[in-house]
Amino acid sequence: MLDQSKTRRFERIVLPHVKAAYNLAWWLLRNEQDAEDVVQEACLRAYKHLDRFRGEDARAWLLTIVRNEGYDWLDRNRRRERTVSLDQTSIDIPSDTDNPEVLVMRNIDMGLLHEGLESLPVEFREVLVLRELEELSYREIATIAGIPLGTVMSRLARGRKRLQEWLHCRTSEEVRDAV
């Protein structure tokens, strides 16, 4: 039988953040059904351990649970998703603001941006989603991901660079195809 006061507390603390939880899960797993399953498991875990929540940031607390559930799911189902190669050759991005490729990049549609985010290794995608889409601070991301602040900054920089390189290559292809 459900404890009514615990249920009300859960509804007040956790439910306002379910959309952010789903957003993180989707970007980690890139599958609607898997993301829904992970969020459901995270909510069950949050309900079960609600007595451990001491009034800190509820959003960060729930997102930490979602992140852990998501990585557990990846470990069980797609271990290869968690590997990252940091030694790839980088591409020099032109900085000339009059360059048509740069202008095209500025007008990129959200579908292409999403595709680029999906192409990133999960470690980079995770911090970019938490920072750029969920607008969390570096410190909150470090807490959620269980990594040092410097690692958050490094992953953000590398993730942004990889995304920029991917978008540059993609838009260069589109410009070539249009000519």
What number does CATH give the domain 100-178?
1.10.10.10
170 neighbors 112 (Cβ within 8 angstroms): yes
Position 81 confidence tier, pLDDT thresholds 50, 70, 90: very low
Annotate 49-76 with b (16+ C-beta within 10 A) or e (fewer). Answer: ebeeeeeeebbbbbbbbbbbbbbebbee
Question: Boundaries of CATH 1.10.1740.10 in the chain?
Answer: 4-82
- The residue that leads in pLDDT, 98 or 62, is 62
CATH 1.10.1740.10 fits 4-82, yes or no: yes
Question: Which tens digits make up the pLDDT trace of 131-157?
Answer: 988 999 999 999 999 999 999 999 999
């952010």: which residue's tokens?
20
Q: How much is the mean pLDDT over the chain?
A: 83
């649970």: which residue's tokens?
65
* 13-24 average pLDDT score: 95
Count CB-CB contacts under 10 A for residue 178.
7
**Cα 68 from chain centroid (whole Å):** 13
Position 88 confidence tier, pLDDT thresholds 50, 70, 90: very low
- The residue that leads in pLDDT, 83 or 78, is 78
Question: Which tens digits make up the pLDDT trace of 99-120?
Answer: 555 555 555 567 788 888 989 9
Annotate 147-163 with b (16+ C-beta within 10 A) or e (fewer). Answer: beeeebeebbebbbebb
- Contacts with 79 (C-beta within 8 Å, 6 or more apart), sequence order: none
Question: Which tens digits make up the pLDDT trace of 53-65?
Answer: 988 899 999 999 9
Tell me the residue type at 143. Answer: T
The pTM (predicted TM-score) of the whole model is: 0.70
Question: Boundaries of CATH 1.10.10.10 in the chain?
Answer: 100-178
pLDDT at 174: 65
